Amino acid sequence: MTPRDPHDADAAVTDSAAPLPPRASPVPPEPQDGDLDPVVDPVVDPVVDPALDPGLEGGGDTGDTVLGRRFRALTLGIVTVVSLIAFEASAVNTAMPVAARALHGVELYAYAFSAYFTASLFAMALSGEWCDRKGPLAPLFTGIAAFAAGLLVAGSAQQMWMFVGGRAVQGIGGGLVIVALYVVVGRAYPQRLQPAVLASFSAAWVLPVIVGPLAAGTVTEQVGWRWVFLAIPVLVLPPLAVMLPALRALPPSERSAGMNRRRILLALAVAAGAGLLQYAGQDLSWLSLVPAAAGLALLVPCVLRLLPEGTFRAARGLPSVILLRGVAAGSFLGAESFVPLMLVTQRDLSATAAGLSLTGGGLTWALGSYTQSRPRLEPHRERLMGLGMLFIAVSIAAVLLVLIDSVPAWIVAVAWVIGGYGMGLAISSASVLLLKLSRPEDAGSNSASLQVSDALGNITLVGLSGVLFVSFGGGDIAATGSTASHQPAAFGAVYVAMAAVALVGAWVTTRLRSVTV
């Protein structure tokens, strides 16, 4: 659940390349291909006398902590917004099957998910450009309004196509919001507090992950599936009121030029290409090659221009940070998507028990995010990320053991505790590094690049997992729907591939630190 950053060193495509704080004073030159050490800007990273700044060591005022007087309202507002989005994401999985049957649109079931995903992919790039030119306030509030409107459309839908449309509007809102929140963190909080704030993003998922499915199931059974969607918009208003004064106090954007329309069109083409690939992946037939080819024709060249130069060859610095985000998110989700199905069909567990086996991963994800936020670990951030990727690889590989009947099924729960901790270390640290390596005026577009990489990693690697699953006989399980259909090779192919991708991610972490030439 992650979440979810575009950048291109090619000036014709984007004039950005870095994340956060805002200020204008001498702006250091942009690293070429990520091969130079980030230059410390004395205005962005001022040397402050602890005696003059109570938030530094030696001071006792809690006003300069994330929950101190200065930042309390903004922090609570951000956490609440993220929690509501997280609750919706976890609850919708429970309500979706009932909604699809009630609307007689089971054949469009997958598109209710993909519509959100592809729309958010486009909105992330749009939000990055919007934030860089106009500041985060407008895209943040527009995104929250769109998210709420999408919930209302989905909850009141009378036909499945209308429901899918509502999910797409939700995706636009979610994409605008997540990038704007990253920019808010960079502009509103001093650099020493940013890791703690970003850790709160992960922590905000903990309670929704635990409570969301149970609450959504109860509401669906007792009141109706529509209220899972219709009740959330009302809850969005309080955090907006709490955050508004702090958001209005943010410094204005330094750029006055119009948005980079070419970049936005590239993002639109990437979203369209991803949608076509998802459509083709639903039906592995010769006819599906046509939308697959069209999707690749749109996706590949546009992604190369949308992300920073050197991303796919793991150039040192920012490009590798952005690449790692997609590798980490995609490998973990690609494996996780098939864990409940494997436990139900291969080990005869109930759907509830299979879902609960993943709960521990959500808790340790927050713990890993908290761990990386500790100031004393800052000099070891790249090593923490490497350790996190190794944890992810080990956890995915451990799930393979459960395909052996003599191995207890609870091994999955233990494995996902390890993998969740690794995700917390890697994902949150990537966000911190992105801010550290970015120039202030590039915060929006770089944050959007990180989110785009996350989304593309999910699309690509979850899609690859699906192809491997079907190719190794998983289609027999889907056809019979019975626990009597055992196809361990299908699940084994998925887990081996995703563990291998996670190991590649561990290598990418050796490329995160820029070097002086």
Tens digits of residue pLDDT in 226-271: 888 888 887 777 777 777 777 777 766 565 456 667 778 887 888 8
- Taking alpha carbons only, the member of 344, 497, 316 closest to residue 412 is 344
Query: Picking from 337-341, 420-424, 433-437, which range would have the lowest pLDDT averaged per residue?
Result: 337-341
Structure confidence at residue 479 (pLDDT): 45
Locate all alpha helices (DSSP H) within 249-376, ordered by sequence. 261-281, 289-306, 318-336, 339-347, 351-356, 359-372
State residue 480's pLDDT score: 45
pLDDT at 42: 32
Distance of CA 390 to the CA centre of its chain: 20
Please say if the pLDDT value at position 97 is more than 70.
Answer: no
Whether the model clears a pTM of 0.85, i.e. scores above it, the answer is no
* Contact present, 298 and 280 (Cβ < 8 Å): no
pLDDT of 160 = 85
388-to-194, 355, 371, 376 alpha-carbon distances in Å: 20, 23, 11, 17
Higher-confidence position of 391 and 134: 391
* Residue 2, burial from CB neighbour count under 10 angstroms (0-12, 13-18, 19+): buried
pLDDT for residue 351: 62
- Give 442 or 56, the one with higher predicted confidence: 442
pLDDT(49) > 50:
no
Mean pLDDT of 419-440: 85
Window from 371-380, 467-476, 496-505 with minimum mean pLDDT: 467-476
Please indicate whether residue 198 or residue 93 has the higher confidence score (pLDDT).
198
Local structure of residue 253 (DSSP, 8 states): P
The DSSP secondary-structure symbol of 511 reads G
- Structure tokens belonging to residue 9: 């060193």
> Is the model's pLDDT at 367 over the cut of 80?
yes
Q: Mean pLDDT, to the nearest integer, of 281-309? A: 79
Do 115 and 167 meet the contact criterion of CB atoms below 8 Å apart? yes
Residue 505 has pLDDT above 80, yes or no: yes
Q: Does residue 323 have a pLDDT over 70?
A: yes
Tell me: pLDDT of 20 over 50: no
Per-residue pLDDT at 93: 65
pLDDT band at 124 (very low <50, low <70, confident <90, very high): confident
447: Cβ contacts below 8 Å, ≥ 6 apart? 5, 19, 20, 128, 131, 179, 182, 183, 186, 434
| Cβ-based neighbours of 102, under 8 Å, separated by 6 or more | 225
Answer whether residue 321 shows pLDDT above 50.
Answer: yes
Of 426, 428, 402, 425, give the one whose Cα is nearest residue 415: 402
**Backbone region of residue 59 per phi and psi (left: phi > 0; alpha: psi in -120 to 50; beta: other values):** beta
Q: Which residue has the higher pLDDT, 228 or 441?
A: 228
Q: Are 398 and 417 in contact, with CB atoms under 8 Å apart?
A: no
Report yes or no: 456 and 270 within 8 Å, Cβ to Cβ: yes
Q: In this predicted model, which residue has the larger pLDDT, 510 or 194?
A: 510
Query: Which range scores top for mean pLDDT: 31-35, 139-143, 262-266, 458-462?
Result: 139-143
Percent of the chain exceeding pLDDT 90 equals: 17
* DSSP-derived secondary structure for 18-72: -------SSPPPPPSTT-SPPPPPTTTS----TTT-TTSTT---GGGSTTSTTTH
Looking at every residue in the chain, the average pLDDT score rounds to: 75
Q: Using the predicted structure, report yes or no on whether residue 295 has a pLDDT greater than 80.
A: yes
Distance between CA atoms of residues 493 and 468, nearest Å: 6
Instruction: Tell me which range, 106-120, 173-187, 416-430, is most confidently predicted by mean pLDDT.
Output: 416-430
Q: Encode pLDDT of 168-184 as tens digits.
A: 899 899 889 888 888 88
Question: What integer pLDDT is reported at residue 332 of this predicted model?
Answer: 92
Spatial separation of the C-alpha atoms in residues 364 and 416, rounded to whole Å: 9
Q: Which residues are CB-contacts of 517 (< 8 A; sequence separation ≥ 6)?
A: 35, 36
User: pLDDT at position 252, please?
Assistant: 63
For residue 342, what are the CA distances in angstroms to 113, 492, 499? 21, 10, 16
Taking the C-alpha atoms of residue 435 and residue 185, their distance in angstroms, rounded to an integer, is 9
Provide the token pair at 246: 């702090």
Q: How far apart are CA 488 and CA 495, in angstroms?
A: 11
Helix (H) or strand (E) run with residue 124 in it: helix 109-134
Residue with the bigger pLDDT between 454 and 447: it is: 454
